[in-house]
Amino acid sequence: MKAIATIAILIAAGFSMPGIAATDHDSHTGHGTMSARPSADAPLIDGLVKKVDKSAGKVTVSHGPLPNGMPAMTMVFKVKDMAWLDQMKDGGKIRFAADHINGAMTIVRFVLEQ
Ligand SMILES: [Cu+2]
């Protein structure tokens, strides 16, 4: 009795239909999904916001050394989410991670610092 129930559970849990698994591919269609990209794991670095340019969707940040080898400097970043520009302000401190997206350094994650 118990053995049969166990087998039934194992089948239900472990048996994946190959046909269904192959359709798990539509992640391109919905852009709204906040899926975790690899860069979401990147360590946050310190930055000082110099200038927020909402119309251009860019922010000038004085940043510390980046994990990709970039030394500390002041430079312009794009942002992955335009709404972040509303949270940043000139002279504000942030911690952020940046990644190369479409040829531009883009802030992909950030938190405000007090
Ligand atoms: Cu830089």
| Tens of pLDDT, residues 85-106 | 999 999 999 999 999 999 999 9
Q: How far is the CA of 83 from the centre of ligand 1 (A)?
A: 22
Residue 55 placed within a domain:
yes
Residue 9 placed within a domain:
no
Q: Which of the pair, 6 or 87, is modelled with greater confidence?
A: 87
Number of domains in the chain: 1
94's CB contacts (< 8 A; 6+ apart) are 46, 47, 48, 49, 61, 88, 110, 111, 112, 113
Q: In this predicted structure, what is the pLDDT of residue 20?
A: 45
Q: Read off the DSSP letter of residue 69.
A: S
Residue 25 has pLDDT above 50, yes or no: no
* Residue closest to 49 by CA, chosen among 61, 66, 57: 61
| 58-75 confidence digits (pLDDT tens) | 999 999 999 888 999 999
Q: How far is the CA of 62 from the centre of ligand 1 (A)?
A: 8
Q: How far is the CA of 60 from the centre of ligand 1 (A)?
A: 10
Instruction: Provide the CATH number for the domain around residue 62.
Output: 2.40.50.320
Q: How far is the CA of 99 from the centre of ligand 1 (A)?
A: 11
Q: How far is the CA of 103 from the centre of ligand 1 (A)?
A: 14
Residue 7 placed within a domain:
no
Q: In this predicted structure, what is the pLDDT of residue 19?
A: 47
Task: Give the range of the structural domain holding residue 79, as residue numbers without chain letter.
Answer: 39-113
Q: In this predicted structure, what is the pLDDT of residue 43?
A: 85
CA 21, 24, 102: angle at the middle one, nearest 5? 145
